[in-house]
A and B are shown apart, each in its own frame.
Chain A
């Protein structure tokens, strides 16, 4: 029932025909995805649909796009959203300086044909492609991975525009005409939920909410991403961050913080967590003064205990 049985529309990496194969490939690239996420990515690739990822900061949303571009061996094109972003920053802009020079040059060489100058002026040559146009214009065996990061930071107007692009994978430049993607890019949208993104935009996408990983999974992630960390340390760190997440903090640590922390510990030559080293490195995992205080009040020693990771 998918639109192209020969897989022309879908962009699965070679040798992957099942969501579990994809999970394996992700793991080979050092990304451990829970079954739900692997399935979501698989379906997004297979059905050629954008994937909308939500979750706390630091659970690895952006990372998904990076890993995918490695697996698919295709460029990663990233559009970081911010308040006030518009078409000229996201799609294209004219190169004014060069256009002005061109006018001057035409004058100097006695170009009296005004219409021609004008036509030249608004040709592809003077167009600067921004990320969305780059993604649509990409030529290659595999479509590029288009990461639209932190959509929630943009505003309504831009969302409406994204909606249009994500349904047709085409954009119209008034002076030039319509640019349509040969093959729809693999689009990954992320949101930290600073505000609710419009339903219509989400409806265009497959949706997945990424949770904090389970204890065992987190140990695995730490081992994989910080190979210098010893198993014992990895377990201690994962157990401690898990306790912190249960602590009712303003910003519970995500996987990114766990990794930062482990790296800091490894850099200090830590082989086993103790109260002193936790205190010294707390800033790499808890980034609010109130949170650090709360952890301190609860007793840093408590974070160190329970090596095996009692909770999970």
Chain B
């Protein structure tokens, strides 16, 4: 039975589903309790032990189909031949892998190393060269994104606040049972969750590469679960997990593997609706700082966008919209989507260069001006 389980594990891994040995052993044990020659039993034994997110169900179903067709289950050692192809990364988001070598050997790199950081900080991302992106990586490492503070429900020891009977009594033991010193505790403050939604459609292409790097630096540098990242194209993709890898190139490769619609058209309203429906309303956006990176070009219905932005603004602590086009002299929010969204946005920033990202980091961390 373990053989079959291991074979199935191989099919699953080929399909992109992580199934560790512990889970495979569990799968084999589950099969022992059921009828391994019955399709449904094998299906459920695997689903219950090997899948742990609804997003993976589709992949599981496909992989199971392959496995079963190949004679999985009762028969030992099925050898599935079909492999899933891994989507190739898109050049518009990531530099080709060679960048690093190039920049190290090439003359440009030497020039760049001495180029004043100040200039780079103000340079528009759209005008960045390959080498400057590498430099950006270094700058980003120092940029920390952390949300404004909010009160947690957890308590911590403090000099004054609520009475803490547990510690008071402990102290009393040293003074012969007399509570000479009373101890206190108070609610802990902790940073709010930050949700980043990045438009990766065609019109944002000059900026999405830098912005995705920024998102990676933020996610990788943030303590768990405090930061969530999504990409918006024709549909919404959650890329928090993919971006959590320390190595930026790998993270971006994984992320663009997950994002299937990079540089396509945007249906901004629909994607944001999906975010609110699936994640935001259930808790992710509640009390959070929500940042949308987009130029506001929406191929879908603008009314949908307005309605959804209103929903977000009711859930979130603060809504920040970052539009790289805003930096252009004489910019007016003419894109219909932008105009529709603006009334529901608390802070409107540009985000076209590094300096503006620093501004964003300050805005995200900013304390209340307007409590909701």
Q: List residues of chain A with CB under 8 Å of any chain B CB.
A: 1-2, 19, 35-36, 39-40, 42-43, 46-47, 49, 52, 54, 82-84, 86, 88, 93-94, 96, 99-100, 103-104, 106-107, 114, 117-118, 121, 152, 155-157, 192-196, 198-199, 202-203, 206-209, 250
A-B contact pairs, 20 of them (CB 8 A): A2-B33, A40-B44, A43-B30, A49-B26, A54-B54, A84-B153, A84-B155, A93-B166, A94-B166, A118-B173, A121-B173, A156-B225, A157-B154, A195-B282, A198-B224, A203-B52, A207-B51, A208-B48, A209-B51, A250-B281
Contact of B26 among A47, A94, A192, A209 (CB under 8 A): A47
**A202 B282 Cβ-Cβ under 8 A:** no
**A195 B45 Cβ-Cβ under 8 A:** no
Residues in chain B near residue A195, CB distance under 8 A: 225, 282-284
**B172 A1 Cβ-Cβ under 8 A:** no
Given A82-B153, A84-B154, A195-B284, check contact A1 B32 (CB 8 Å). Answer: yes
Given A39-B34, A52-B52, A199-B52, check contact A47 B29 (CB 8 Å). Answer: yes
* Minimal Cβ-Cβ distance residue in A for B30: A43
**B284 A104 Cβ-Cβ under 8 A:** no
**B48 A1 Cβ-Cβ under 8 A:** no
User: B371 in the interface, Cβ–Cβ < 8 Å?
Assistant: no
Shortest B81–chain A CB gap in Å is 29
* Minimal Cβ-Cβ distance residue in A for B40: A35
Residues in chain A near residue B34, CB distance under 8 A: 19, 39, 43
Interface majority SS (helix, strand, loop, mixed), chain B: helix
Inter-chain CA distance A155–B226, complex, in Å, is 11
Residues in chain B near residue A47, CB distance under 8 A: 26, 29-30, 33
Shortest A40–chain B CB gap in Å is 5
Within 8 A of A (CB), among B258-287: 277, 281-284
Residues in chain B near residue A209, CB distance under 8 A: 51, 54, 57
A104-B177, A155-B154 given; name 13 further pairs at CB < 8 Å.
A1-B28, A2-B29, A19-B34, A39-B44, A49-B26, A83-B152, A96-B168, A121-B173, A194-B282, A194-B283, A195-B282, A202-B53, A203-B23
Shortest B62–chain A CB gap in Å is 16
Residues in chain A near residue B20, CB distance under 8 A: 203
**A114 B176 Cβ-Cβ under 8 A:** yes
Inter-chain CA distance A253–B255, complex, in Å, is 34
* Minimal Cβ-Cβ distance residue in A for B51: A207
Contact of B166 among A88, A152, A192 (CB under 8 A): A88
Inter-chain CA distance A93–B33, complex, in Å, is 40
**A1 B166 Cβ-Cβ under 8 A:** no
**B28 A43 Cβ-Cβ under 8 A:** no
* Minimal Cβ-Cβ distance residue in B for A158: B154
User: B356 in the interface, Cβ–Cβ < 8 Å?
Assistant: no
Shortest B74–chain A CB gap in Å is 16
User: B349 in the interface, Cβ–Cβ < 8 Å?
Assistant: no
User: B362 in the interface, Cβ–Cβ < 8 Å?
Assistant: no
Residues in chain B near residue A202, CB distance under 8 A: 52-53
Inter-chain CA distance A1–B284, complex, in Å, is 42
User: 7 closest Cβ contacts across the A-B interface?
Assistant: A84-B153, A194-B283, A103-B177, A96-B165, A202-B52, A39-B44, A194-B282
Residues in chain A near residue B153, CB distance under 8 A: 82-84
User: B222 in the interface, Cβ–Cβ < 8 Å?
Assistant: no
Q: List residues of chain B with CB under 8 Å of any chain A CB.
A: 1, 20, 22-23, 26, 28-30, 32-34, 40-41, 44-45, 47-49, 51-54, 57, 152-155, 165-166, 168-169, 172-173, 176-177, 179, 224-225, 277, 281-284
Given A118-B173, A199-B52, check contact A152 B283 (CB 8 Å). Answer: yes
Inter-chain CA distance A300–B93, complex, in Å, is 48
**A84 B152 Cβ-Cβ under 8 A:** yes
**A207 B48 Cβ-Cβ under 8 A:** yes
Residues in chain B near residue A208, CB distance under 8 A: 47-48
Shortest B187–chain A CB gap in Å is 8
Interface centre among A52, A203, A207 (most CB of B within 10 A): A207
Shortest A247–chain B CB gap in Å is 13
* Minimal Cβ-Cβ distance residue in A for B168: A96
Given A39-B48, A209-B54, check contact A100 B154 (CB 8 Å). Answer: no
Shortest A58–chain B CB gap in Å is 13
Shortest B84–chain A CB gap in Å is 21
**B33 A36 Cβ-Cβ under 8 A:** no
* Minimal Cβ-Cβ distance residue in B for A202: B52
Inter-chain CA distance A278–B350, complex, in Å, is 49
Inter-chain CA distance A192–B284, complex, in Å, is 12
**B166 A96 Cβ-Cβ under 8 A:** yes
**B282 A2 Cβ-Cβ under 8 A:** no
**A94 B169 Cβ-Cβ under 8 A:** yes
Given A39-B48, A84-B154, check contact A192 B169 (CB 8 Å). Answer: no
Shortest A219–chain B CB gap in Å is 23
Inter-chain CA distance A99–B155, complex, in Å, is 22
* Minimal Cβ-Cβ distance residue in B for A208: B48
* Minimal Cβ-Cβ distance residue in B for A54: B54
Shortest A289–chain B CB gap in Å is 12
Shortest A275–chain B CB gap in Å is 27
Inter-chain CA distance A198–B223, complex, in Å, is 13
Inter-chain CA distance A118–B176, complex, in Å, is 10
